Amino acid sequence: MGIQDAIAGLSALLGHRLTRSKSDLDLHGRSESHFHDAPPDAVAYPETTREVAEIIRICVAEGCPVVGWGVGTSLEGQAQAFHGGVSVDFSRMNRVIEVNQEDMDVRLQPGVTREALNEELRATGLFFPIDPGANATLGGMASTRASGTTAVRYGTMRENVLGLEVVTAEGRIIRTGTRARKSSSGYDLTSLFVGAEGTLGLITELTLRLHGQPEAVASAVCAFPSVQDAVTTVIETIQMGLPVARIELMDRASIEAVNAFSGTNLPVMPHLLLEFHGSESGVKETSETFGDIAQEHGGTGFDRATRPEERTALWTMRHNAFYAILALRPGARAVVTDICVPVSRLAEAIEGTRADLEEAGVQGPILGHVGDGNFHAVLLLDEHDEDEMARARHVADQMVARALALGGTATGEHGIGVGKQRFMEAEHGDAWQLMGVLKQALDPGDILNPGKLVPPRN
């Protein structure tokens, strides 16, 4: 019994769809973040749910770890094989099975990427709004409980997964949820698997809520004297119930980076970038009302972008902000922090982070999904400079400690993986132990993505 026996069994099952080539192992051991490479012993490419079930049965019998793989964009090491074993790559399970236009839902396989889904939906008048930036797979996004710039309007994966097909550690295929919009029928297993990072089962199919492509879209950008002014504007906007679809913050350092990278000429001040979805007259009214609120809090240079090319330019700038920040220090490794606090405490959390960064001498422009209270400092680091890495780690720890003290969470959207396990006890207390009890009950052999999220076994 062991990993090699499992690989023999998987090889018999999958033939050439079980690979051990060095390039493939290396690829599946990498992360977009700062974790060291951790390749699996083999990579499996299933094509059906039954094959996934068979893979898990073989691996459980042999005590071989199983790690799900979408496209490897997770940021906390979720998809890396720190204990070896088999990486289950869902790239061959990438079919959109059924679009139900009248019910505004879609059933699809976990390897479909966000962009591929929206391409497929283009002609239907519907779209899937959740946008974490990266072109992640929907299976991965569900497993990480991802969100992004549009969560303030459309929610996160938590609110947009109606149901799942999951292979459990017993190798059973179960279905959670239905296509009905709501249900009070038993434990909410869908929500249990969403965000479980593949530690309780592998998602083999998803049913997602879709949304109507808005009749009209408008964007706006506005500069503020301070982060506090920008945040106060956000709070009033949300309290008024203005239907903003995106409301993003960029701090001074981010704006400087973007100006240098994109050749823009924005004033070096905190900015809010917004998008409004609705009817023609609705978005006009909403953006004007927003403009009034912004002005009351010192907002200047309020600019509405209603033409598609202006909007595209604005959001391309936002999406490229990460690369713009990276370009500030060529060759640097970026560590992207991710805390989320009650919106009223956001300015405090950002200003505190800014002060910590200055004190530590670490460069870290700040970007935020400010409608949710979620923000990222993009720490630019020389990974060979141990002292700098230690100082950066200290800043990241302080960010989380502050988030928890302010009633927030260690991660708004990136998840736990191995990168944030050290904060779980502080955030959840005994509830983290309860997560371990659930893991033990559903995966007694600790086969599914071992070493991630839950407490270490005794």
Q: How far is the CB of 341 from a second copy (least distance, A)?
A: 6
Minimum CB–partner distance for residue 274 and a second copy (Å): 17
The rounded distance, in Å, linking the Cα atoms of 172 and 187 is: 18
Length of the chain: 458
The closest alpha carbon to 117, from 152, 141, 150, belongs to: 141
The DSSP output letter for 373 is T
CB of 354 to a second copy, least distance (A): 20
Q: How far apart are CA 83 and CA 379, in angstroms?
A: 28
| β-pair type (126-127, 211-212) | antiparallel
Judged by beta carbon, residue 85 or residue 371, the one nearer a second copy is 371
User: Residue 264 CB, nearest distance to a second copy (Å)?
Assistant: 29
* Residues whose CB is less than 8 angstroms from the CB of residue 404 and which lie 6 or more positions away in sequence, other chains included: 410, 423, 426, 427
Decide whether 111 or 278 has the Cβ nearer to a second copy.
278
CA distance 15 to 94: 20
Which of 197, 251 has the CB closer to a second copy?
A: 197
Amino acid (1-letter code) at residue 275? E
**In the complex, least distance from residue 210 CB atom to a second copy, rounded to whole angstroms:** 10
Nearer to a second copy (CB atom), residue 268 or residue 437: 437
Which phi-psi region, left, alpha or beta, contains residue 352 (left: φ > 0; alpha: ψ -120 to 50)? alpha
Please name which of 452, 455, 446, 458 lies closest in space to residue 65, comparing C-alpha atoms.
446
Smallest distance, a second copy to C-beta of residue 163, A: 9
Closest to a second copy by CB, 244 vs 266, is: 244
Q: Based on CB atoms, which residue is closest to a second copy, 183 or 264?
A: 183
Helix ranges (H only) for 145-251 are 151-154, 157-160, 189-193, 227-239
Task: Closer to a second copy by CB, 163 or 270: give it.
Answer: 163
Q: How far is the CB of 217 from a second copy (least distance, A)?
A: 12
Pairing of strands 300-305, 339-340: unpaired
